[in-house]
């Protein structure tokens, strides 16, 4: 099964039992919570600019949406 990436605003609510549903998370708001045992959900902070770049990349690769990117 391919890796399941997820884009959301926060990573602070993700715990180890969520890993069976989501393998990796990209988040836009840099708020994290400390969890017992030092657990940190596998994730990357990408900020609002990262979201813009990801959407732009998808639009540029799509023949039907390419005209929306200038």
What's the mean pLDDT in 41-65? 87
> Residue 26: is its pLDDT beyond 60?
yes
What is the number of structural domains in the chain? 1
What's the mean pLDDT in 18-43? 87
| Residue 44, phi-psi category: left (phi > 0), alpha (psi -120 to 50), beta (remainder) | beta
Range of the domain at 28: 5-68
- What pLDDT, on a 0 to 100 scale, did the predictor assign at position 1? 54
| Angstrom distances, CA of residue 22 to CA of 9, 34, 69 | 15, 19, 30
């Amino acid at each position: 099964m391919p890796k399941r990436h997820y884009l959301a605003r926060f990573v602070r609510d993700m715990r180890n039992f969520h890993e069976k549903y989501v393998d990796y998370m990209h988040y836009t708001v840099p708020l994290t919570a400390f969890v017992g045992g030092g657990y940190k959900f596998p994730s990357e902070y990408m900020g609002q600019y990262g979201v813009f770049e990801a959407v732009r990349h998808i639009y540029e690769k799509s023949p039907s949406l390419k005209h929306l990117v200038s």
